[in-house]
Structure 1
């Protein structure tokens, strides 16, 4: 009978957690639909030749998050997942401050912060969201005021109290993921137990003196008792340490950069959780455009002026019926997925540069069999640099049929396309 009661209790908890998860998903869906409705009601933009809004993020969001969206396996889908995600940060101190800064910068849709303390002068050497003028202010309010200045597009939830067994379930159930940024075993067990019962993944860190620890718990977050679920804090530390052995930062000391690094690592783990597959592999490494990723965008001059075409000229050509041609987009696929011109084909620069055998033939595999031999080929990239290199390479390979087929690039790439043709084109 006792076993049946235990199973029934587990089922009741799972039902409660599932109902909470359903409520959260419905809230996220409502938020995304309202954002879509706002975009459709916003009307046409005033600047530029084309004003239609058809991209899933706002123009400002493409600019703000562009450098992380071009990271392999993040892309537009990873950014949308971040925007739809909600993260709870427990503790607005040395760990919580840097973690929340980078999560806000990354564009997490909802960030909740829990802390019942006020800012003290002794906090300031490591708790980077607070300053001297905020001494005596609630830590949560101080942190959120600075986070709003960093990224006003995010919803911030202030929980200006400490977590207790009485309020923890209500607060934690509102979020997808939890960061334990506290500094005592009592809170760590409480937070971990709650995350297990509510099936929430947990990222926990700690720091003391010059040492730090990081652990990701309850991943995957399966129902309590399911052996396929990730370990919890009790699995790693079945018994709490003796009370007399627990040393706090106030007693043992802490270097600010140490706790800062641990908080940043928590943010990194949280982003990987929200982006699902946001990780760099050796295969992706080989395909990454490091010059672009690092912001090196100095113009190159490989082609003569007659080998290049203005973006507005290409748009006029597209409008003419019977002008059969091929538009070759040589950006990496993660960028092509963010935005592309209808009818273009994507052959990444890294592929064309690295696969000599498929380029240095008159009819490579990416060239459509149905394309007439005299049909021109136009090459486009983000800024008009890579497109010049590839245009030259295609000509040297003989694809231009000894000059009878025109091959040229779009001058200035998609930067020029936005300026000359389509003002709604995302600038990332």
Structure 2
């Protein structure tokens, strides 16, 4: 074959490849529409956004695997030995799912889209609130009230329109988990509750997806790469541990503290989200995300990374064991299946000990915020006592006039072992308080206050029912809603 014939043949092959890739793009779009319409109750309101992603190829006749603007956009990472052209092509052909568009998901999405992943999926059923903005940096004041998935996708799209974005505007459940997670190569758990973490880990084990999990609270965070390398349950050649291997039992329900209760420093959760993106990029560039041509040397031994913003040594790594021999989800003894997961027979809420809001007082042992305000207005509070059991940081921001501050944590520590047969020390109780004076307890939302009121009754403070001991139903949130709308509530 002479040179002219070879050139002509090469051009024809390039055109054929271009046509084939266009057909593949159309087929993917059709498949996405069918999957979206066949999944009951799922709200994928942007099934596949416009953007280059995996569907765009270089112009016909180009001899380079990336488009010209992509070399400019990704040039600073293309020249890294750990990425290179092969790593960038793997990123471009990969799909990553971020579950949770909050403090972790925002920075993770920014750096993954910036790095040039092919498709970025986002799962979240919440809307943007003002209280999110100090740490969830992809959202903005102008988008308060908008679905978080739309807000985060828009932010990421402005950063890199070359990526295809899929928005799943709902929370992940056992019923929709398989349909959503199965579309992606790597999963990032950016949620903030144990029920979600166990569900996400279980479905990733069953679908053989590497999972990058992180959490953050107050000034601390932790990160771990799970199910890496991905392997089916009980595989002879092993696999990375799952979330249940590391945490076989959930924490006690009363020890689970949310950001709303415990607080969170924005840069802390930002650090953890950035590290999640970094780990996902490392997995994909090494070929582990897709499991194709992956270098086993890239499979790092599992470790738990701990971060403390207030420590002199902020980062600490703890070596983890491989899969537990009797793990419920990933061992050879596991009976967990996708069918069982979807059936709902696994109750993650019950497993984590979280069901309905705390209800330990009878209705007659509780008073509304409006009714207690009437007591204040009538001057009856001079013969009663209001105990505010929020932590100091909450109390210092705003409180009800006349309240006595006894933090819930201090109350628990002091009276943990006190029984009704003992005479407790009530050093917080003013000496001049009449023995029959009612005691009202208030907290942030009406949970801790019930526990304190019940404990006071168990200690005999109510004098066998002669003295009223109860709480303000709904706590300071109800006070703001029913009494004083100007009071700050955090």
With structure 1 as the length reference, what TM-score do the two structures score? 0.54
Secondary structure of 2:135's aligned partner: coil
Compute the displacement of 1:233 (Å). Answer: 0.3
Which position in structure 2 is the counterpart of 1:146?
Answer: 155
Question: Which residue in 2 is equivalent to 1:199?
Answer: 208
Q: Aligned pair count?
A: 242
SS in 1 for 2:273: helix
Q: Which residue is 1:162 aligned to?
A: 171
**Counterparts in 2 of 1:60-71, with a 5 A limit?**
60-71=69-80
Instruction: Give, in angstroms, the shift of residue 277 of structure 1.
Output: 7.2
1:255 maps to which residue?
Answer: 265
Aligned to 2:56: 35
Change (3 A) 1:84 1:27: farther
Q: How far off its partner does 1:70 sit? A: 0.4
Write the distance in 2 (CA, Å) between the matches of 1:174 and 1:67: 29
Moved over 4 A (4+): 30-34
How do residues 10-409 of structure 1 correspond to structure 2 at under 5 angstroms? 35-36=56-57, 39-40=59-60, 53-226=62-235, 228-276=238-286
Would you say the 8 A contact 1:217–1:230 is kept in 2? yes
Over 3 Å counting, the alpha-carbon distance change for 1:144 and 1:237 in structure 2 is same
Does the CA-based 8 Å contact 1:208-1:249 persist in structure 2? yes
* CA distance 1:66–1:221, change in 2 (3 Å): same
Output the CA distance in 2 between the equivalents of 1:73 and 1:254: 33
Following TM superposition, by how much is the alpha carbon of 1:144 offset from its aligned partner in structure 2, in angstroms?
0.6
Asked whether the equivalents of residues 68 and 74 of structure 1 are also in contact (C-alpha less than 8 Å), the reply is: yes
User: Structure 1 residues 226 and 27, CA, compared in 2 at 3 Å: closer, same or farther?
Assistant: farther
> Alpha carbons of 1:70 and 1:229: their partners in 2 closer, same or farther (altered >3 Å)?
same
Cα distance between partner residues in 1 of 2:55 and 2:112 = 23
1:54 CA displacement: 1.3
Is the 8 Å Cα contact of residues 223 and 276 (structure 2) preserved in structure 1? yes
Aligned to 1:373: none
**In the superposition, relative to structure 1, how do residues 124 and 111 fare at CA in structure 2: closer, same or farther (>3 Å)?**
same
Report the Cα offset of residue 218 of structure 1: 0.2
Higher relative contact order (CA 8 A, sep 6+): 1
Could you tell me whether the CA contact under 8 Å between 1:203 and 1:215 is conserved in 2? yes
- Deviation (angstroms), 1:131: 0.8
Summarize deviations over 1:368-409 as a string: whole Å, max 9, x none: xxxxxxxxxxxxxxxxxxxxxxxxxxxxxxxxxxxxxxxxxx
- Distance across 1 between alignment mates of 2:267 and 2:135: 7
SS at match of 1:39: coil
Using the size of structure 2 for normalisation, the TM-score is: 0.47
User: How far apart, in 2, do the equivalents of 1:95 and 1:33 lie?
Assistant: 25
The two structures, once aligned, show a CA RMSD in angstroms of 2.3
CA distance in 1, matches of 2:223, 2:163: 26
Deviations 1:92-140 (A, max 9, x none): 0000000000000000000000000000000000000001111100000
- Range that drifts further, 269-278 or 249-258: 269-278
CA distance in 2, matches of 1:262, 1:27: 33
Contact 1:74 1:277 in 2 (8 A): no
Aligned with 1:212: secondary structure?
strand
Q: Could you tell me how far 1:225 is from its partner in structure 2?
A: 1.6
More helix by share: 1
User: Residues 226 and 121 from structure 1, CA distance in 2 versus in 1: closer, same or farther, beyond 3 angstroms?
Assistant: same
Say whether the 8 Å CA contact 2:97–2:187 is kept in structure 1: yes
Deviates most, 183-192 or 217-226? 217-226
In structure 2, what is the Cα distance between the partners aligned to 1:96 and 1:116? 13
* CA displacement 1:116-175 (0-9 Å, x = unmatched): 000000000000000111110000001111111100010000000000000011000000
